[in-house]
Amino acid sequence: MDAKIMTLDQVAHYLQVSQRSVYDLARRKEITAFKVASQWRFDRELLEAFIRQQSQVSAASGTAEGAAAAPT
């Protein structure tokens, strides 16, 4: 995926989430998006910055998405 600008479907596939989840992130301005006519578009570099930021937040809080809880 070398395109600088990505569609909603491409972002959903890239993040492995639903299109609705991507739309909700964009609507809440958690990820940067813009519209061309009536279709959402996303800058790949800004999306990757969002991913890095989320990774840092997860690492700082000591959690990992989808990780099983340690046995007690």
The string of DSSP codes covering 10-21 is: HHHHHHTS-HHH
Q: What is the pLDDT of residues 25-66, one digit of tens each?
A: 999 999 999 999 999 999 999 999 999 998 888 788 776 554
Q: How many CB atoms lie within 10 A of CB 66?
A: 5
pTM over 0.85: no
Checking if the pLDDT of 69 tops 50, the result is: no
Checking if the pLDDT of 24 tops 60, the result is: yes
